[in-house]
Amino acid sequence: MDSFELRYADYSLTEEQLAVRDAFREFFASECPPDRVRAAEPLGYDAKLWGQLTELGAASMGLPESVGGDGAGLVDLAIVAEEAGAALAPVPFAEHVAASRALASAAGTAGAAGDVLGAAGERPVSLALRPAAGAAALVPAGAAVRDVVALDGDTLVLVRAAEPAPLIPNQGSTPLARWEIGEGAASRTVLGTGAGAVAVYQAARAEWQLLTAAALVGLTERALSGAVEFVKTRETMGVVIGALQGVSFPLADVAIGVSGARNLVRRAAWLADNEPGAHAGLVQAAFAYAARVATHGATTSAHMQGGLGFTTEADASLYFLRAKGWSVLGGDPARDVMAVGDALVARALAG
């Protein structure tokens, strides 16, 4: 069988990718314990951690070599996103990668866009996940960045500010903020117009969904790990609770969900790199499924830890709140399920 064809059903990582995973796993284990996650609340952004992450090349690894990047593909980026999600790292990795790659793809990178790409290793940039509609846009990481890529009608723009926008408090402790991205923006540079500009924006939004889905997979697996360790030591009437079917079976369901979500994310990432545009709805399916697995998994983890799991000082609550918060940053995941259905109907009608 041709190796390219075989890759359709092969979700394993290469030796190089395993080395990338292990390097970032070790980094986050050392530099981002739960106490550091809590210290970044309520903003949900740790500038020093972002600086440390960029020193490892994470901020620019997905950019083309022509603009100073490493040319990494979406599978490699998803590996990093999964490790960041497992650590609940308070850094806007998915937003920055999607926005900076859009800047690199936009026609011409001179002027403001070139400046932002040049500073990618120093400060993050974000992406407005919905086109402008006459009102200030909710921007994930908008309270942590000074540069936002957005779509206004069919015009791709870069909006800049002297300081990040004020935080909109939220239970997920994400740096969410409102940005004016229309004609009233203080500093706005047009990056492109027409169908090409819309395509660049749509690709960036899909990449954000893909990397956020990977982060949710990492989050869920780590939440599951915490619950498993808890039920291995807790006893009731002389029996370890992990031996009870009412405990072990729900945790096994979460493990199955994690495995499926990870495979779906990796498949979507590989096909997006190798057959872009040929698999409509696959990225949305990966995101919607990862969001469902994360909210179910984090909830199950909290339940299995009893009263402790619902206390704010328990790590389980960190995972529960972020599973809820990250899943809805781009809107209701149910819309993505509907988009997948529309894509499948369109494909059936076309066939």
Q: What is the pLDDT of residues 176-206, one digit of tens each?
A: 999 998 777 778 888 889 999 999 999 999 9
Residue 148: closest CA among 160, 140, 137: 160
Q: Is 198-350 in CATH node 1.20.140.10? A: yes
* Dist. CA 92–CA 145, nearest whole Å: 9
pLDDT in tens, 234-271: 888 888 888 899 999 999 999 999 999 999 999 999 99
pLDDT in tens, 318-336: 999 999 999 999 888 888 8
* Dist. CA 224–CA 229, nearest whole Å: 9
Q: Computed over its alpha carbons, how large is the radius of gyration of the chain?
A: 20
How many other C-beta atoms lie within 10 A of the C-beta of residue 332? 12
DSSP state of 12: P
Dihedral of CA 329/334/337/341: which sign? negative
Instruction: List CB contacts of 63: < 8 A, sequence separation 6 or more.
Output: 69, 70, 71, 100, 101, 104, 117, 120
Degrees, nearest 5: CA angle 172-177-182: 145
Over the chain, what is the mean pLDDT? 89
Q: What's the pLDDT score for residue 237? A: 87
Peptide linkage before 42 cis (omega within 30 of 0): yes
* Dist. CA 56–CA 149, nearest whole Å: 24
Q: What's the pLDDT score for residue 325? A: 95
